[in-house]
Amino acid sequence: MNRIIAVLALGLSVSANAKTVDIAALQSCTTIQNALKRLVCFDDAMAGNQNAGNQSAGNQSAVTNSQQQVVANPTQVTAPVTTSVPAQSAEQKFGLENKVKEKLADIDNLTIEVVKLKESARGVRTFTLANGHVWKQLGSDSFFAKVGDNVTIKRASFNSYLMNKTGSNRSIRVKRLQ
């Protein structure tokens, strides 16, 4: 019984504090083409101001003043950061999609020769390929590629990559270091 009374009291208190929104004012705001003026109109409509749907001179001057303040204060204006990336082939960019901000040409796999192989004390191998890529084995699964072997690196799910030796069915998950 106490729960029912508590729920009813809560429902009444919420409905007593609810605001009414002028739907006509919101609909009139949708016809405004300028994004900043439209935003000011929606803000006014939700605040319950009477001039929400009107484009009066007061609203336009307020918008103009706020724009002038942003431009007048140069410490708040930041230039877009641009980084120059040297022109590289799609093969050179393979595996770096998540480290570079620009859209790269999609390659599904890369077949190339292993020129250097390093193995850590825990059995994790680092492969240097003929094109200069350096790939590191993730995990400690056995993988029997040697220097001079051709390997294929395939794009897998969730931005991961699989490496397998040409002519073998065994593959390992790898991550590009360079």
DSSP 8-state secondary structure symbol assigned to residue 46: H
Residue 79 lies in a domain: no
Burial of 14-25, coded b for 16+ CB within 10 Å and e otherwise, reads eeeeeeeeeeeb
At residue 129, the pLDDT reads 92
Query: 59 with 130, same domain?
Result: no
The 10s digit of each residue's pLDDT in 79-130 is 444 445 456 777 877 877 666 555 556 778 889 899 998 888 888 889 999 9
Nearest Cα residue to 91 out of 112, 63, 115, 120:
112
Q: In sequence order, what are the beta bridge partners of 109?
A: 154
Query: 97 with 158, same domain?
Result: yes
Residue 80 lies in a domain: no
Query: 12 with 53, same domain?
Result: yes
Residue 83 lies in a domain: no
The answer to whether residue 35 scores a pLDDT higher than 60 is yes
The answer to whether residue 55 scores a pLDDT higher than 60 is no
Query: 112 with 169, same domain?
Result: yes
**Is residue 45 within 8 Å of 55, Cβ to Cβ?**
no
Which of these three, 72, 105, 134, is where a domain ends? 72
Q: Which domain holds residue 21?
A: 2-72
Number of domains observed in the structure of the chain:
2
Q: Is the pTM of this model over 0.95?
A: no
Query: 117 with 44, same domain?
Result: no
More confident: 10 or 86: 10
Q: How far is Cα 147 from Cα 142, in angstroms, rounded to an integer?
A: 16
Residue 10 has, within 13 A of its CA and on its CB side, a CA count of 6
Query: 53 with 102, same domain?
Result: no
Provide the percentage of residues in the chain whose pLDDT is more than 70.
Answer: 66
* Helix pair 57-72, 35-47: axis angle to 10 deg: 120
